[in-house]
C-alpha cells in the first residue's frame, strides 16, 4: 500500500483531480456555459474563458462542439473583447439562429463608466463560418440601460433570447433597489428592443444568468442568485407578468459546486442544461486549470408541477465495466464493491419500506478508508447528503456537508451518482441534484463501498456500478 503523498509535492505533480468525462478545455479558467445551441447536426457550447491563466479575468468565449453530448472537440476562442471599443470582458450570453444565421448576444463590460455595476451593455455578433468566428454588429450596443427610462438597474447582464409567435424575447438578470431581478424585453428584428417588465425579484443583491422557456404547458424561469440556483414554474402571462406556481432548486450546492446553468432545445425537443462546476471548494490549491462543466441534464415536468432532471441518456456511451446486483440487503456491515475507479456511475433503487435505514455510498475511498466521500440517503426523511469531511487529507479543500431533500412516496427511490476524479454529481430521484467537488490526495482513493445502519435493514432492489470512459475516448 502506498503512503499518503505529501500535499506540498502533490500540488506540483499530482493532477489527478482533472475530470475525464466532464467538459473542460486543456487549461486555464472557465466559468459559465454560454450560448448552447444545436446547429447543423452538432451541439455547440461556449464558455466564459480566460486564455491567460487559471483565475477569473480577461473574459473571452471559448468554444466546443459535440455530435453526441459526450465527446467534445475544443475550437479556437470564438469571441474576444474589442479593446479598441473599450471592451474588457465578454460576459455571458446566448446564441439563436435568425433565418439560418447564428446570432450571439452577450454582455459587454469595460472599465470606469462601462463597468459591470452600472455600465454594462448588451452586444450582438453573427457568424458565417459555422460559429468558429464572430463579427460584432455595427449597431452595437444593441441595448443600453437607457432602455429602462428612470428605472435604475445595476449588475445588468447575461442575455437569454428566444423566439415566440414571430417575436423575439430576451431576459436579463440584474439588481433593482438592491434586489436581484429578471427583466423581460421584446424585439421584432433583434436590433430594436423594448423593455416590457421586471418579471420577478428576490432578496439577493443580484440575479445572474436567467433562462426562461416553455416546458410542456408551463414556463420555467431559472436564475443564479449568488447561491444555489433556483427555478420557478408558472405562466408568462400576456401582460408580461409571471404567475408563479411552484419553485425549487436546480442544484443545492451553489458556490460549493453548481452555478450559472444555461440550456438549449435539441432536434429531439429536449431541454438540455449544463452548469458550471466551480472550483471554489478547491481552496488555495493552485493548478493551471479551474472550472469544468456539469454533465448535460434533461429537464421535464413532474406530475407535482416541479422539475425533473435526468442525466442525458447519451452518457451511457461512456459505460465500461459493469456490476449489477439485485435485492441487496444492507446492514451496518460495510460491503466493498469490486468495480472501482476515479470515474464511475452508480445507480441504486432504494426500497421504501418501514424498516429502512439510511444507505451510505462511499466513493473515492482510499484503501485504508482515511479518505472517502460519503453520499447518504435516508428513506425516512428523504434527506440526501454529500459528506466531504473525509474527502481529502489536505486541509486546503472545503469539507462542509451538502444536503437536500426529496419527497418519498411510492415504492422506491432512485439515487444516481456520477463520480469523475474531483466531481460528484448526485441525482436524488431526479427531483433534486447536488453537485460538488472533492480533492482526494491518494491515488488509491478509488474504492466504492456501501452499507446501512445498525439493527435495520435497507433493501436495494437493484444496484449498478459502471466504470466510465473519457470525453476523448
Ligand atoms: C456568473 C457570472 C455572470 C457573468 C459572468 C462573468 O457566474 O457572474 O453573471 O456574465 O459570470 O464571467
Q: What is the mean pLDDT of each run of 10 residues along the chain (473 residues)?
A: 38 74 96 98 98 97 97 96 97 98 98 97 97 98 98 98 97 98 98 98 98 97 98 98 98 97 98 98 95 98 97 98 96 95 97 89 96 96 97 97 95 97 98 98 95 92 97 81
How much is the pLDDT for 14?
Answer: 57
User: Among the atoms of ligand 1, which is closest to the Cα of residue 107?
Assistant: 10
How much is the pLDDT for 366?
Answer: 96
- The grid coordinates listed for 185 are 424585453
Among 32, 172, 223, 255, the mutation site with the greatest number of ligand 1 atoms within 8 A of its Cβ is 32
* Four-residue CA torsion sign, 275, 276, 280, 285: positive
User: Among the atoms of ligand 1, which is closest to the Cα of residue 209?
Assistant: 9
Cα 212 to averaged position of ligand 1 atoms, centre (Å) = 17
User: Which residues, including other chains, have CB under 8 Å from residue 177's CB and lie 6 or more apart?
Assistant: none
32 given a catalytic annotation: yes
Cα 208 to averaged position of ligand 1 atoms, centre (Å) = 7
Cα 253 to averaged position of ligand 1 atoms, centre (Å) = 17
Going by alpha carbons, the residue nearest to atom 6 of ligand 1 is 91
How much is the pLDDT for 12?
Answer: 42
How much is the pLDDT for 471?
Answer: 87
**Residue (of 158, 161, 162) closest to 181 by Cα position:** 158
* Four-residue CA torsion sign, 415, 443, 292, 228: positive
Ligand 1 lined by 260 (C-beta under 6 Å)? yes
Cα 204 to averaged position of ligand 1 atoms, centre (Å) = 15
User: Among the atoms of ligand 1, which is closest to the Cα of residue 92?
Assistant: 10
User: Among the atoms of ligand 1, which is closest to the Cα of residue 32?
Assistant: 7
Cis peptide before 422 (omega within 30 of 0): no
Tell me the pTM.
Answer: 0.96
How much is the pLDDT for 2?
Answer: 36
Amino acid at each position: 500500500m502506498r503512503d499518503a503523498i505529501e500535499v506540498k509535492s502533490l500540488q506540483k505533480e499530482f493532477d489527478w483531480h482533472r475530470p475525464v468525462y466532464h467538459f473542460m478545455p486543456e487549461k486555464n479558467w472557465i466559468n459559465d456555459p454560454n450560448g448552447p445551441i444545436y446547429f447543423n447536426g452538432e451541439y455547440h457550447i461556449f464558455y466564459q474563458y480566460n486564455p491567460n491563466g487559471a483565475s477569473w479575468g480577461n473574459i473571452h468565449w471559448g468554444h466546443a462542439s459535440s455530435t453526441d453530448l459526450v465527446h467534445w472537440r475544443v475550437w479556437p476562442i470564438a469571441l474576444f473583447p474589442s479593446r479598441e471599443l473599450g471592451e474588457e470582458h465578454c460576459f455571458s450570453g446566448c446564441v439563436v439562429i435568425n433565418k439560418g444565421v447564428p446570432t450571439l448576444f452577450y454582455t459587454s463590460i469595460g472599465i470606469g463608466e462601462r463597468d459591470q455595476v452600472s455600465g454594462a451593455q448588451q452586444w450582438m455578433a453573427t457568424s458565417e463560418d459555422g460559429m468558429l468566428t464572430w463579427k460584432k454588429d455595427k449597431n452595437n450596443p444593441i441595448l443600453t440601460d437607457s432602455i429602462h427610462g428612470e428605472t435604475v438597474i445595476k449588475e445588468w447582464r447575461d442575455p437569454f433570447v428566444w423566439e415566440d409567435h414571430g417575436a423575439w424575447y430576451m431576459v436579463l438578470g440584474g439588481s433593482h433597489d438592491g434586489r436581484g431581478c429578471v427583466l423581460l424585453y421584446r424585439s421584432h428584428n433583434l436590433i430594436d428592443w423594448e423593455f416590457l417588465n421586471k418579471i420577478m425579484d428576490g432578496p439577493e443583491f443580484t440575479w445572474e444568468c436567467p433562462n426562461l422557456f416553455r416546458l410542456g404547458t408551463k414556463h420555467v424561469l431559472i436564475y443564479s442568485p449568488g447561491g444555489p440556483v433556483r427555478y420557478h414554474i408558472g405562466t408568462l402571462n400576456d401582460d408580461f407578468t409571471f404567475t408563479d406556481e411552484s419553485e425549487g432548486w436546480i442544484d443545492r450546492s451553489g458556490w460549493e459546486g453548481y452555478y450559472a446553468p444555461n440550456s438549449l432545445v435539441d432536434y429531439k425537443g429536449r431541454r438540455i442544461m449544463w452548469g458550471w462546476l466551480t472550483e471554489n471548494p478547491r481552496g488555495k490549491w493552485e493548478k493551471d486549470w479551474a472550472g469544468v462543466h456539469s454533465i448535460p441534464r434533461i429537464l421535464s415536468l413532474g406530475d407535482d408541477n416541479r422539475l425533473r432532471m435526468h442525466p442525458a441518456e447519451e452518457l451511457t456511451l461512456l459505460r465500461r465495466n459493469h456490476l449489477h446486483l439485485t435485492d441487496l440487503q444492507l446492514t451496518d456491515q460495510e460491503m466493498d464493491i469490486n468495480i472501482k475507479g476515479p470515474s464511475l456511475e452508480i445507480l441504486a433503487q432504494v426500497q421504501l419500506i418501514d424498516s429502512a435505514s439510511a444507505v451510505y455510498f462511499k466513493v473515492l475511498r482510499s484503501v485504508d478508508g482515511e479518505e472517502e466521500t460519503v453520499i447518504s440517503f435516508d428513506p425516512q426523511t428523504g434527506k440526501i447528503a454529500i459528506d466531504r469531511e473525509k474527502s481529502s487529507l489536505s486541509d486546503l479543500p472545503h469539507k462542509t456537508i451538502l444536503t437536500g431533500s426529496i419527497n418519498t412516496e411510492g415504492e422506491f427511490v432512485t439515487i444516481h451518482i456520477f463520480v469523475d476524479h474531483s466531481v460528484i454529481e448526485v441525482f436524488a430521484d431526479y427531483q433534486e441534484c447536488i453537485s460538488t467537488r472533492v480533492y482526494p490526495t491518494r491515488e488509491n482513493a478509488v474504492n466504492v463501498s456501501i452499507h446501512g445502519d445498525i439493527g435495520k435493514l435497507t433493501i436495494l432492489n437493484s444496484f449498478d456500478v459502471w466504470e466510465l470512459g473519457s470525453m476523448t475516448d
